Structure formats: C-alpha cells, structure tokens
Amino acid sequence: MKPYLLSRGSPWGSPRILLRASLIASAAVLTAVAVGPASLAQPAPQVQPEPAILVTPDEMHTGALLLKTTEGGKFLEAPRLKTDVAIIVTGPTARAVITQRFENPSDKWVEGVYVYPMPQNAAVDTLKMQVGDRFLEGKVKERVEARQIYEKAAAEGYKASLIEQQRPNIFTNSVANIGPHETIVVQIEYQEAVRLDGDKFQLRVPLVVGPRYTPRNAEPLLVGYTDDAVIVATNTVVKDAHKVTPPVIHPKYGKINPVSLSVKLKAGVSLAAIESAYHTAKIERPDAQSANVSLDGNVPADRDFVLNWKVAASAIPQATLFRETIGTDNYYLAMIVPPAGTAKVRQPREAIFVIDNSGSMAGESMRQAKAALILGLSKLKPEDKFNVIRFDDTFDVLFKTPVPANETNLKVATNFVAGLDANGGTEIYAALQAALADLTPADKSRLRQVIFLTDGAVSNEEQVLQEIGKSLGRSRLFTVGIGSAPNSFLMEHIAGQGRGTFTHIGSESEVVERMAELFSKLESPVMTDLRVADGVKLETSPNPIPDLYEGEPVVLTAVTGSQSGKVSLTGRIGTMPWSTQLDLSTAVEGAGVSKLWARSKISGIESSRYKGGNEGDIDAAVLKVALDHHLVSRLTSLVAVDVTPSRPVGEALSSHEMPTNLPHGWNFEKVFGEDPSNPLIKASVDGTLLQKLAGSTKPATASDGEGVALPQGDAGTVLQLVIGLLFLSSGTMLLLVLRKQKA
C-alpha cells in the first residue's frame, strides 16, 4: 500500500499528511505484469502498518537520506534513487528510455514512490522491471484494475511497479517490496516528436517537477469591472493536488536524484550547429549528419535538459513524410514547412502583458520575466494600446483600460515592472480572467494579444484551460515559460487553446533572442484556415489544425488503409491562399509513428473537455485509443508484478515518497515561507553528521537494436544528505510537515 498526501486549508501553507491508504482512482493504468496469479486482479486487503526501524547518524556507515522523526535523535532511512536517460533521435522523432534505480539502504522492506516529469506530448508505452536476473514486461490496464493488481501484489509480498499519469507531463512510479539493501531497476520508454521552430530543432527532457501551487478555498475570480474595483467571486480547490506535489529538499543540504543522460542524434541532413542549452555536455560528431551527446558526468535532477541543433537553411525539408504499417492500418507523420518571406503588414495591436511575481519566480526567474516584459514594452508602436497585469496570490491591473503606447504610459509601465518583487502564491486563474476581460470585444481595428509570462507552477491546469474555452473571445494567448523547469504542458496548452504560441526562456542570456523571435511571430501574418482536402480516406490529428506563426511547421499525424494517393493541405497566410500536396507513396519507414498518432489523438480528445464536451463520451474515446495502442493516459497505467513472493510473511512494508530537488534558480524560502516554526526549515539534520555516498553506475546507453538491456549492478551515486522532511508517528501514519507553500 502506498502513502499519499492530503492537502487541506490554504494552498501553500496547509498541513500535508502522509497516510497509509489505498489509492483507487476512476481512471486507467499502464501495468506491466509477469504472468502472475489470477488472484492478483482482486482488491488488496488492508495492511496494518508496523513501526519502522529507526537509526541514529553515528550508526550510519555510508551516506543515506535520513528522515526526521518525532523521536529525538532518531531518523528513518529512505530509499535512494538514480536515473539514466538514453535517447535516439531519428529525423523528427525521438525514442527515449528512462532507467530508474531504487536502492534500499535499510534493513527493512520498503516501497518507494517517485514523482517525475515527462515531455507533455510523450507517448509512454513500455515498462520493464529487473528483479535479480529476471526481467518483467508491463501491460496497459484500466487505471482502477492496475491499481488493484499493484496493491494486492504489494500486500502479499510480490515485487511490483506501477506507472501512473497524474498530468500529461507528471507521472508517478511506485515500486513495492524492495528488500533490505536491495536494488530494483525500472525502465520506462516513450516516443515523441522533436520540435522545429524556424531553422532550429529542439529536444527537451524535463528532469524535475517543481512544487505546484494549489488555489485556496476562497480563490478570487474575476466577474467584472466597476469604475473603482474588480468584482470577484470564489471557487473550489484542486482535488488531486497531492499527486503532483512531491516533498522537496532544501538546497542548502545539497542535491539528490542524480541523472546521467545520452543522446544519439541522426538528423538525416547535414548539421550546421548543435548545443546543450543549460548543461555541460560532451558532443562527438561521427559524421556530418550525426552526433553523440552525453552529460559531463552525473547531474542533479533540478532543471530541464535542452538540446538544440540547426541545419543549413537549404537542408530544411519543405515536406517530410514517415509511415508505419501495423496490420491493415498505415500511420503517417507529416512535417511541412510553409514558405518564409511573406510580406508583413503590421496591424495595430492591443497587447496585454501578464507577469507572474509569485514566490516560485524569485531570483533568476523574476529577473528573466521582468527583462522580457520590459523588452516587450519597448517593441510597441504609437498606434498600439497595452496594459500590464501582475499576479501572485492577488493581482493588479496597471491601467483601468488599455492605454496608448506613448512615452508617458510606457515609462509608467516600465517603472511598475522594474519595481516588482516575487512573493506569495500563484493565483493564475484570477489573473487569466482579468487578462481575457475584453472591454471592447467588437473592436476589429487591433489584434488583441495576451502575453503571459510565468513558470506555470500550479496544479489547477484544467480549471485554467476550461476558462480559456469559455472566455477567449477575440484574444490570442501567447505564453512565455520562465525558468529552469516550467510547466510546459500548461504553457503549450494555454497557447494552443488560445490560438497563440509558446516560447521558453531558460536563462537571462536568452531573453533578447527569445523575445525577438516572439515579437516576429506577433507581427507576422498568421497561417489560418488550415485543412486537409485528401483524395483518400484519412483520419488526421490534430483536428482541426491550429493556426501557425512564422517559422512553425505543420505537424500532422494520420491513419488510413492506403499507402498511395495524393493528400492536399490548404490554408491562408495573411490574406493570401496557400496549398501543398503530399504523395503517400513517397513516405519512408518511421518506427513509432503509430504511437505519436495515438498520443496526438488522445490529446485532441482530452482538449474537448475544456470546451464542454460530454465527459462519458470523452472517457470512452480516450480509453479505447490508449488500450488499443498500449499507452499510459489519464485512464490507463503500466504495472509489472513478479510471480515469486519476496517479502517474508510477517515482515512489515513501509512506504516513502521520494523527495525531489528544488528547481535550479528557485528560492526555497520564497516558495515555502520563512516561518522558523516550519519543520521543513527548523528540523534539519546537521550536514557534518552525514557522509557522501560515492559510487559508480554504468549509465544506460542508446542502442541501434530493438531494445535496451537493463543496466546491471550497483545503483549508488553521489548524494549529499539532507534534511528532516518527515515526522514519523507511532506506526499508523507518516506526517509530512506543515509546508508554508508560497509559490
């Protein structure tokens, strides 16, 4: 049985209790099962918790993560984690293998629960677990069934692993019955399409889940304006916030969760340049079209890994078509680059800038956001109008109505932005409502563009996206994801629902370049009315095709029974018609295209939830696609169960949620508060009592073969041991501290 967190009261300052309880959700789970007893599908019996084995620091003969307990001087030893990431990029697609090692340094049987990020469009389809010299393969099951299988296996002493999606970009991995001093290796695989923007391809690998702010019970929501005030209402909290907010280690105690990472890049065309944006990496170039990239040693999982590569302008394919045939179905991936250089006719704009100055933005992120907004203000023309909204757990609208972009108003706005400080919670919904409150909805003389600068570190994504579906009107939403680990799922979906585009700024050195790219898009003709007029029976995704901005390719997946025929794509660039044609018979083989089609299909179905679609019909459609294509989704999960019981009868199983790092550049006190009574800050282990665990681990490497062998051997790595995160009460519950969550 896995512990879970209960969040109650205000969003960042609520008691969070880790209870031993069964989590049965009304969704589906991807499960990996090694031919186990049929009885595993039955509900698990309740397990009575047993007192855990506690230690003192001087009893430790190796480094370990010690969890603070209510017994003075006594600590609970937690499982360790090590992650390897190996990726093969072939043309526009990537296949990734994530290998997680859970090591149990204690003398008791434990369960580890780890919350980790995924690319928001990743098609997660494979789970393998290594137990000794045996390898277990996962299967996709409906979420409730998978949870039941896992819980029963855990209760009866079987080793088991369960992969669940909590958000499209947040997953949990639960691993049960790790024996004393034992290492369990779990491997997860996914498929995704790399991003092309202009002449630059990008692969982003998220490595940490930042703390997520949960709206308070009485959250202010915009209803309308009066002459002197904004009228607000209230709403409810996010019910599953505990599933996306893992415990966080204070940075002063060092970094944990080390990662090794390698990428084999097979571009298919000559590479002009390649760079690792935020990590030191070794880059080898075996030939003009390939590169091998690896991190320079292990790095802490505290910021996204981003790999950018450029190809010569003449080498950018104007149309790329891949095909994967499964049975009688042919799955296609098309990437089409519209022509550049269309004459720009600048239309006056009404620009609404929204800046997040909550606690999670403190430090480098706040500097990035302020610099980006001030640069954005400088790009406005006298014929434009603008306004500025800032938000934390309150919000301010600088001007009562959008004002002309004259020297006086711009100076007021620049001074306002320059004086902002980061503090408080992240009430993004109220600020979004304020930004979408269009006082002149019939004005056709200006393009209304909302530029949202935030890290998106919130748990109420669905509420935000539903509001866009209801209130977008003539506005277009452009998101600028700020910082080392932004919530890219929310950022991309706000832009997608808002008919805009997403830009990421990961360091201050990128502000000028990224904002220049964004404003080029804001001022360029939009490609609209995109549609497929095919000569064959074809089911495409996304459907409808979203509007596109300068430098953005049309990326389509499709399924049909045919391997030949012409497919026409039409649209408009500004006021001019545009069209192109694809010949299906010219498609080249592309492994994994069917997974990309299915993931895009699921994303499209889920998006209809934000526009008032029928929940029952949506769930049925998502479930069918996920089960048919063996994918993890909101309604499916992966589970793997060993067939041989390992935990002896009578031995207790204790469960721990694996702590994560604070994302790089974040300020711990601004996120969790500075109250000295907060146990996360007050009750800590003296670092001098803890030793570093030094070890070596052979990283997973990408292979040209059909599979990647699970790594063997030790799971050790360098850990600088940490703080007291938890209070352990008398064996009936694990109390996770009062967190003054302010970001």
| pLDDT at 205 > cutoff 50 | yes
Residue 721: the pLDDT is: 28
For position 309, what pLDDT does the model report?
Answer: 95
Q: Is the pLDDT of residue 513 over 70?
A: yes
Per-residue confidence at 340, pLDDT binned at 50, 70, 90? low
Q: What is the pLDDT of residue 210?
A: 86
* Per-residue pLDDT tens digits for 692-704: 222 223 333 344 4
* Confidence at residue 317, expressed as pLDDT on a 0 to 100 scale: 64
pLDDT at position 229 is 36
Is residue 624 pLDDT above 70, yes or no? yes
Provide the β-strand partners of residue 707.
none
Q: What is the mean pLDDT of residues 666-681?
A: 65
Confidence band, pLDDT 50/70/90 cuts, at residue 398: very high
Q: Is 595 helix (H, G, I), strand (E, B) or coil?
A: helix
Domain spans, the chain: 347-522
Q: Is the pLDDT score of 602 beyond 90?
A: yes
Whether the CB-CB separation of 454 and 428 falls below 8 Å is answered with yes
The pLDDT value recorded for residue 66 is 60
More reliable by pLDDT, 315 or 130:
130
Look at 35-44, 93-102, 435-444, 465-474 and tell me which has the smallest mean pLDDT. Answer: 35-44
Residue 217: the pLDDT is 53
Contact 542, 600 (CB under 8 A): yes
Q: How far is CA 554 from CA 11, 93, 335, 551, in A?
A: 40, 15, 6, 10
Instruction: Give the pLDDT of residue 655.
Output: 81
Determine the pLDDT at residue 224. 43
* Res 674: pLDDT: 67
pLDDT greater than 50 at residue 670: yes
Q: What is the pTM of this model?
A: 0.80
Task: Please give the Cα distance from 448 to 471 (Å, whole number).
Answer: 13
Q: What is the mean pLDDT of residues 427-443?
A: 93
Which of 182-196, 273-287, 419-433, 667-681 is predicted least confidently? 667-681
- Answer yes or no: is pLDDT of 547 > 50: yes
Asked if pLDDT for residue 712 goes beyond 50, the answer is no
Q: Which residues, at least 6 apart from 470, have a Cβ–Cβ distance to it below 8 Å?
A: none
pLDDT of residue 500 exceeding 90, the answer is yes
Task: Out of 43-47, 267-271, 526-530, 712-716, pick the least confident.
Answer: 712-716
Average pLDDT over residues 477-503: 93
pLDDT of residue 599: 96
pLDDT of residue 606: 93
User: Over 70: is that where the pLDDT of 586 sits?
Assistant: yes
To the nearest whole percent, how much of the chain has pLDDT over 70?
A: 75
For 532-542, the pLDDT digits (tens) are: 886 777 888 88
Name the CATH superfamily for 347-522. Answer: von Willebrand factor, type A domain (3.40.50.410)
Cβ of 570: how many Cβ atoms within 10 Å? 14
pLDDT of 64 over the 80 cut: no
Tell me how far apart the alpha carbons of residues 705 and 373 are, in angstroms, rounded to a whole number. Answer: 47
Q: What is the DSSP string of 149-211?
A: HHHHHHHTTEEEEEEEEEETTEEEEEEEEEPTT-EEEEEEEEEEEPEEETTEEEEEE------
- Overall average pLDDT of the 245-256 stretch: 79
Average pLDDT in the chain: 79
Find out whether 657 and 115 touch, Cβ atoms under 8 Å: yes
Which of the four pLDDT bands, split at 50, 70 and 90, describes residue 475?
Answer: very high
Q: Which range among 25-39, 49-63, 239-253, 404-418 has the greatest average pLDDT?
A: 404-418
pLDDT in tens, 341-357: 555 677 899 999 999 99
Task: State residue 80's pLDDT score.
Answer: 74
Q: What is the pLDDT of residue 536?
A: 74
Residue 717 pLDDT more than 80? no
Please state, as a whole number, how many other Cβ atoms lie within 10 Å of the Cβ of residue 618.
17
